[in-house]
Structure 1
Amino acid sequence: MKNLVFAVVAAAAVLFLSGCVSGNKYVIEGTGESLVDGHWMYVMDGEDWSILDSARIENGSFRIEGSDFGSQTAFLYMGANSAPSGLYQVSDIVLLEPGTVTMKYEPDYEMFFAHGTPMNDLYSRLSLEGIGEETDPMDLVRDNHNVLGLVLLDGLMEGYSKSEVEALLADFPVSMREHPLYMRLQEAVEAIKADVGLPYYDIEGKDTEGNTLKLSDVVGREGVRYVLLDFWASWCAPCRQEQPGLVSIYEQYRRYGFEICGMSFDGNLVQNWKDALKEFRMNWPNALAEFSGNASTSPFWTAYGVSGIPSNFLIDASTGEVIAKNLHGEDLAAELETLFPAEAGSQTEAGQR
């Protein structure tokens, strides 16, 4: 994989130097049944969301030749006109580099993916096929100190500690540090107040009775040894899918000092949140985060470096330190078995009698 990455980077450099498409230009083209004749396809910058270029869809296809690379990250939007309310996203990220980018529709994802140029080929392959177990995702970032590396880091950073992400960003050349995506990632990392190896950051919300519930109230309860701070929402399908397993783990370890503090991003969907608590029997402390607009605007979201939900953080109540994050299903069960070895052993013996 590493040799492949170096080959991709080298090829990308050649393309940028040679300008294989009429100077420093790019071509984006695509065909598909989902394309509506007479509508327009827009190339929208992935950072400031400005329209870089557009083309009319004819005979189920489009071709856009542009020279405005913007942030080099873009998404394709389709619509009858350029009114923001009338456009909708039809592609995964497109990396703008000289060459011809062919958009291929993937029915399983219901969107187009970019192929045909070095960075787009690698990114789409990783998106569609995943990163192999033999590959360290951090190596992909280290080997691509370009916009592709920044995009990969943006998607991977939640899985790493603040210090690890800071080290990866520091390795990028000075020439990349004015890139809008680099600056956004730098700001996001600087805003993180709690992470693995750091003290937890106290947050609060309203419980089902409208009373204030603080994370510190849960961490500080007598007999509590470990607390799982769980960010979720009733509208989040993956969050709902993992609740039965979380309930089972809670029932197994609660008596030994394991506690959960649920923090929901349901916003004004208060009844939906309460209904989900009852449906899944989430009988641990739960609160509704207060925020305006999108959930990502919540100060809790930025303080914990959350990029999506479900997301969780395991806290050692005796020290207040975050000792792990994003443990789900079997991974969470294995971690708790390590933290409660005697208790887990007694459970196993009881089950064998």
Structure 2
Amino acid sequence: MQRMLCLLLAAAALCGCADGERYRLSGSVEGAEGVLLLTNLCTSEVDSARVDPKGRFRFEGRLSEAAPALLRSADGRFATRLFLEPGSIELSGRASEPMGIRPAGTPANEALGRLRDSVTLISHLAFERQDSAYRALERRCMEANRDNLLGATLLSYNIAEELSPREVLACIDRFPARMQQHRLLAELKQRALQALKSEPGEPYTEIVQPAPDGTPLSLRETVQKPSNRYVLVEFWASWCGPCMKEVPYLKQAYERYRPLGLEIYAVSFDRDRDAWLGAIRQHDLRWLQVSELKHFDNSAAHDYAIRSIPSNLLIDTQSGTIVDRNLRGERLGRRLEELMGQH
């Protein structure tokens, strides 16, 4: 359930507005008292309002662009999220049940309110059914809201991560033309077009980054080394739990297929040099290691459209093309066995 709350409203910027369009936010949250704080999550601007004796509150302001926002009590008793967009927005609910606080009044907030109602129903299902039920709900909600920000946000921040670049582009094409021009979908389209360049069958893109000793290490030189038949480019970080769970599979593959011509070129998205080098030592990672120590601002992340880790791609050194990607867990060993034979 947190997937919806974290990703749905984490958009850095939403639809553009005419300069100075007004929003009005009012409502009544049972149990709220004292001062409420409204934070525009795009600009970090904070406004405040006091809850009146009847439990109501009101905010007004101007927007240069619509944005996600966080409304919370100064005493920390509750917090809820919503969209700031031109028009009148109404909130209602209980401070003791933040997920039940319902936004309404403007298109994206009306749709968000309906989605929250549906999520509440899913939360009563057996745990093992919740994930599939929510994913199905996301798809239905996106289809029903292609004409507003909720549909675009669901695709960009939730659904796109499960689709191939071609599927993302096809999905964007089904939005109305005016929504396709929206910055959220325009940026998603650019990422998908970039990601197409790292699909199987495409030539690899060069990477040159510092090795642990500070010397530049080239992917091209690794690919062109005569003894290497396949190069696995592995994107990871020491702070990434799922990445570290992949280590046993990587070590097993490296031990088995290194003599047959496998090399691993690992690109770390760490920021902290000591943490990066410590993980290499602690886990005895004997393959090639590079990092710019720039987190997701790593140049290779942009070139290969990497938005989450762990992630990888496998390069055939004879053709210089990508033959597979996102080989995780036991799938890595099975794919290498197909390509390189048993050992």
TM over 0.5: yes
Query: Judging changes above 3 Å, is the alpha-carbon distance between structure 1 residues 79 and 163 closer, same or farther for their aligned structure 2 residues?
Result: same
* Percent of aligned positions that are identical: 28
How far apart are residue 141 of structure 1 and its match?
4.6
Code of the residue aligned with 2:327 in structure 1: it is L
The aligned counterpart of 1:282 is 285
TM-score by length of 1: 0.66
SS of structure 2 residue aligned to 1:74: strand
Distance 1:31 1:216, change over 3 A: farther
Instruction: Output the amino acid matched with 2:285.
Output: M
- Other-structure match for 1:219: 223
Among 189, 204, 207, the alignment partner of 2:208 is 204
* Deviation string, structure 1 residues 175-194 (Cα, Å, up to 9, x no partner): 21342312332343344473
> What secondary structure, in the 3-state scheme, does the structure 1 residue paired with 2:266 have?
strand
SS of the residue corresponding to residue 261 of structure 1 reads strand
- Paired with 2:249 and 2:95, the residues of 1 have a C-alpha distance of 37
Give a deviation string over 1:114-146, Cα, whole Å, max 9, x none: 764543553783997434599597776555413
Structure 2 unmatched ranges of 5 or more: 1-22, 103-109, 124-129
Corresponding pairs, count = 298
Deviations 1:301-330 (A, max 9, x none): 222111122222222323222233333213
Which residue is 1:253 aligned to? 257
* Cα 1:137–1:334 shift into 2, 3 Å: farther
CA contact (8 A) 2:39 2:45 kept: yes
Distance 2:43 2:258 in 1: 47
Find the residue that maps to 1:287 and give its secondary structure: strand
SS at match of 2:184: helix
CA distance in 2, matches of 1:29, 1:287: 54
Partner-residue secondary structure (3-state), 1:254: helix
**Contact conserved, 2:34 with 2:73, CA < 8 A, in 1?**
no
Give yes or no for the alignment of 1:272 onto 2:269. no
Gaps of 5+ in 1: 1-23, 82-86, 107-111, 347-353
- Label 1:80 to 1:266 Cα distance change in 2 as closer, same or farther (>3 A): same
1:125 to 119, 125, 139: 119
Give 1:76's aligned amino acid. Answer: L
RMSD: 4.2
Distance 1:257 1:73, change over 3 A: farther
Other-structure match for 1:42:
38
